Amino acid sequence: MIETKKKERSRLRRALITGIVLLVILTVLCILRDSPLFNAVLDGNVRYIRSILEGNMLYAYLFMLLIMIIQNSFTIIPLILVITINLALFGFLQGFLWSWFTSVAAAYIICVCVRFIFKNKVIKCFNPEHIEKIEQNAFKYVFQARVFPFVPTSFINILAGLSSVHYKPFVFATALGNFIYFFVLALIPAGLLSADINLYMLAVLVIFIFGLYYVFKRIYKGHKNQILIKIKKIKDSL
């Protein structure tokens, strides 16, 4: 009984926080709708964006966070453009890391918003088979979708929100998959990845990607086993 009440309070707290975050985002979107800066993002005018934001780094970080949330919600802004803007504003390392961090944060926000606010309305538009697939192996499904983005980013975020998967495998797979995919994308505007790329560099990238996948998969598997052991101990004690 006590556990049920705690879970209900936790769900209500998350729903309240999600609603507040969504309200803030919608308010900012209404303000930015006719903003020259936002229109410059839609037009891909990186030079103009840099000239406006370069003098105020705090605003630049917050603005690019909002842009990434929009990208993860509707996919109306090309991901490569968002990464290019971040690289132009913050340099390669900080631009790449900020792109990666904001993408994970945005994916989590969209997932939570769908689960607690829009689930009953949105679920009718999705094939139940897709939801079943992500529930069978959330980590593998999300990771593959992030590294090999044959479907829009927003689709995966919404699908995770409609399913019953736990947040940890979703966030973990998103963080790992986006780190790999974003790193490769970041090399393009940086001029390190082109049609004339050295085959040795390509081989190193492939080995690096599979190496990261193997390491993180082992870490996640170990974490999952620890959770299962704890659940078993709780069941045995009852």
- How would residue 107 be classed by pLDDT, with cut points 50, 70 and 90? very high
Higher pLDDT, 204 or 48: 48
Q: Percentage of residues in the chain with pLDDT exceeding 90?
A: 14
CA distances from 67 to 139, 174, 189, 195 (A): 26, 18, 18, 29
pLDDT of residue 62: 86
Say how many C-beta atoms besides its own lie within 10 A of residue 133's C-beta. 15
- How would residue 202 be classed by pLDDT, with cut points 50, 70 and 90? low
Q: How confident is the model over 109-130, as pLDDT tens digits?
A: 888 888 887 777 777 777 788 7
Q: How confident is the model over 158-171, as pLDDT tens digits?
A: 888 888 888 888 99
**Which residue type is seen at 16?**
L
pLDDT at 105 over 90: yes
pLDDT at 195 over 50: no
Phi-psi region of 62 (alpha: psi -120 to 50; beta: other; left: phi over 0): alpha
Phi and psi at 150, nearest 5°, equal -80, -15
pLDDT at 155 over 90: no
SS (H, E, C) the chain: CHHHHHHHHHHHHHHHHHHHHHHHHHHHHHHHCCCHHHHHHHHCCHHHHHHHHCCCHHHHHHHHHHHHHHHHHHCCCCHHHHHHHHHHHHCHHHHHHHHHHHHHHHHHHHHHHHHHHHHHHHHHHCCHHHHHHHHHCHHHHHHHHHHCCCCCHHHHHHHHHHCCCCHHHHHHHHHHHHHHHHHHHHHCCCCCCCCCCCHHHHHHHHHHHHHHHHHHHHHHHHHHHHHHHHHHHHHHHC
pTM here is: 0.73
pLDDT at 89 over 60: yes
Least confident of 11-15, 59-63, 89-93: 11-15
Cβ neighbours for 12, distance < 8 A, ≥ 6 positions apart: none
Question: For 9, how many CA atoms within 13 A lie in the half-sphere containing its CB?
Answer: 6
- What is the gyration radius of the CA atoms in the chain, in angstroms? 20
* List of long-range contacts for 190-193, beta carbons under 8 Å, 24+ apart: 190/87, 190/92
